[in-house]
Chains A and B, each alone.
Chain A
Amino acid sequence: MSTLGSFLHRHPRLRLAGLLSAPLLWLVVAYLGALAVLLVSAFWSVNSFTGVLTKQFTVANFRTILTEEVYRNVTLRSLWVALSVTIICVVLAVPMAFYMAKVASPRTRKWLVIAILTPLWASYLVKAYAWRILLANDGPMDSIFGGPGYGLFAVVLVLSYMWLPYMILPIYAGLERLPDSMLEASADLGARAGRTFRRIVLPVLIPSVFAGSIFTFSLSLGDYITVQIVGGKSQLIGNLVYANIGAANNLPFAAAIATVPVVIMVIYLVAVRRSGALEEL
């Protein structure tokens, strides 16, 4: 044992190889590999009579997606859902995270962190079905508020509920790194609460909000289960992918549709990179 230890001590490169070979293999094969297959197969096609996969390069799938109105509508609808969910999460998470990081006592803070994490312990499906019951005709929501019933609004509501912890936690972490003395210094220099929030808290907050939004936005953009459970007749990008894998048996077309959220997320990441959000992850 000690001989192996001292051998490794003398060979730092070998040590590094031992540390990184497994995760690197995982990253290249499982992660980039799957993404590459997705991209390549998006340029294949399926014979519509025989259902046989034709491994020949064609941009037909992308032409269909870009020209047919139904796909543009579904994409826009998905974007609208992801954006609404993100905005609702920000509005709820900022005051909550501020209370946790700067107002609550350390004891209360610990309980709040646990309370925010607990919903993540429950199965996604169970939570979605719980909301299906809540939203049902003559269900609790219906009898108290007279709605909203199944549909796009319900999707936004349930997704906001699902992803809220992913927004609260980065904002909380960001605010926790803002020392109290910084807020005191601002007050000491004559600034009232409003100015302190705008000039001192917000610059720290914005990268954290973007960091959280990467989660809420991408998770909403790819979701297809919540939509099936509480979405009524509405469809999002994820449903189209799922339908083409299953019922339509057109894997290349599913892959082509799946690249749409990937492209949107890449654009989004590039856009928020400038805010320093990626350093907050």
Chain B
Amino acid sequence: MSTPAIKLTGLRKSFGAVDAVAGIDLAIADGEFFSMLGPSGSGKTTVLRMIAGFELPTGGTVELGGRDVTKLAPFERDVNTVFQDYALFPHMTVLENVEYGLKVRKVPRKERRSRAEEALSAVRLEGFGSRKPAAMSGGQRQRVALARALVNRPKVLLLDEPLGALDLKLREQMQVELKQIQRDVGITFVFVTHDQDEALTMSDRVAVFDAGRIAQVGTPSDVYESPATPFVAGFVGTSNLLAGPVAEALVGRKGTFSIRPEKISLAEAGNPGTVAEVIYAGPVTRYVVDLDAGVRVTVVEQNQRTGTAALAELRGKPVHLSWHAEHVIEIPSEKENADAA
């Protein structure tokens, strides 16, 4: 394996008595689209800020392309950041914003101009160069921030929840665009988000953060299909957790198990239960079912024929649920995880 673009070893950060990041080891490959996924306060943004150099680690090291940069200032690192609030300079035009990094690095005027124009057209903002950031929409500002970072051709681009402020439609559109841009430029992207859809859609690999540690690293399908801990099962997508006597009754063994809602179907025969709630959500309908075994599970079915009236009638009715044995995933308990680590 070649030198990773980013290598974190035993990385820790404490704010007073609080451990925001409690020991992280991670290697991110060159050209990878890597997401750090987790709830707020799980330490993902702090890790990103330590890679950028905005925070000094309490312990551990940060290596970029094999070089130890742990103690270096942000301006000495070959990374660029797209900020959550974009952090565009309000007194400069869009073009001046994009040129800023090149000007600092004393790139000659002519080359500077052509590279900035090129970066603006890469994010589809040709002809917007003379505008002030205040005169642009949220989505456009987001793309200026992207152009301002990419124009420097960094080894690694760090993105701190860059789509958080955009509305749903724009966000989905930007997800596709970001992925395309990343493929075109071939730069390593490290993308911080709390949105599991976003992480699953765009990434080559995902690290799921839980309380300052990485709970699981893997491809989106690894993380979704075989969650390593109950936390991952619960945070990435919706999950039906079966544990204790319920698990013994339904699965036939001791342990903790997870079944995704879309892997369960309403059937003629199977595990009996009662429909507690029916939620119509456009393309799918969610059923909340109380199984006789003593657990409440969520079931998601595609709406292929059903009308809303017929669905509502199911409320309170007895049903049977069925699923395939291979979709029941055993989750190692927290203790086993600790032993493995």
Residues of A that sit less than 8 Å from B by CB? 179, 181-182, 184-192, 195, 199-200, 203-204
Contact = CB atoms under 8 A, between A and B. Distances in A.
B152 A181 contact: no
A200 B83 contact: no
A173 to B, nearest CB: 16
B255 interface: no
A52 B148 CA distance: 74
Nearest to B151: A189
- Among A179, A185, A199: residue with most chain B CB under 10 A: A185
Interface of B: 52-54, 73-75, 79-81, 83-85, 87-89, 91, 100-101, 104-105, 148-149, 152
A200 B83 CA distance: 16
Given A184-B54, A204-B91, A190 B83 contact: no
A187 B80 CA distance: 10
Given A181-B87, A195-B104, A189 B54 contact: no
B75 A187 contact: yes
B104 A190 contact: yes
A192 B83 CA distance: 19
B83 A185 contact: yes
Contact of B81 (A179, A184, A195, A203): A184
A191 B125 CA distance: 25
A184 B91 contact: no
B181 to A, nearest CB: 18
B87 A182 contact: yes
B74 A184 contact: yes
Given A189-B152, A195-B104, A204-B91, A184 B75 contact: no
B75 A191 contact: yes
A205 to B, nearest CB: 11
26 contacts: A181-B83, A181-B87, A184-B54, A184-B74, A184-B81, A185-B87, A186-B100, A187-B73, A187-B74, A187-B75, A188-B52, A188-B54, A188-B75, A188-B80, A189-B75, A189-B80, A189-B100, A189-B104, A189-B148, A189-B152, A190-B105, A191-B75, A191-B104, A192-B73, A195-B104, A199-B89
B211 to A, nearest CB: 25
A204 B91 CA distance: 8
A200 B52 contact: no
A190 B102 CA distance: 9
Nearest to B52: A188
A186 B73 CA distance: 12
B81 A185 contact: yes
A184 B87 contact: yes
Contacts of B101: 189-190
A89 to B, nearest CB: 24
Majority secondary structure of chain A interface residues (helix, strand, loop or mixed): helix
Given A188-B74, A191-B100, 6 more contacts: A181-B84, A184-B52, A188-B81, A190-B105, A190-B152, A204-B91
Give me the 7 closest cross-chain CB pairs, A-B, nearest first. A189-B101, A185-B87, A181-B87, A187-B74, A190-B104, A203-B91, A181-B83
B156 to A, nearest CB: 12
Nearest to B158: A188
A187 B88 CA distance: 13
A77 B84 CA distance: 52
B92 to A, nearest CB: 8
A195 B89 CA distance: 14
Contacts of B148: 189
A179 B74 contact: no
A214 B104 CA distance: 35
B54 to A, nearest CB: 5
B96 to A, nearest CB: 10
Nearest to A178: B90
A199 B104 CA distance: 11
Nearest to B85: A181
B335 to A, nearest CB: 40
A157 B152 CA distance: 50
A199 B89 CA distance: 9
A91 to B, nearest CB: 24
A250 B226 CA distance: 94
A184 B83 contact: yes
A182 B54 CA distance: 12
Contacts of B104: 189-191, 195
Contacts of A200: 89
A244 B73 CA distance: 63
A184 to B, nearest CB: 5
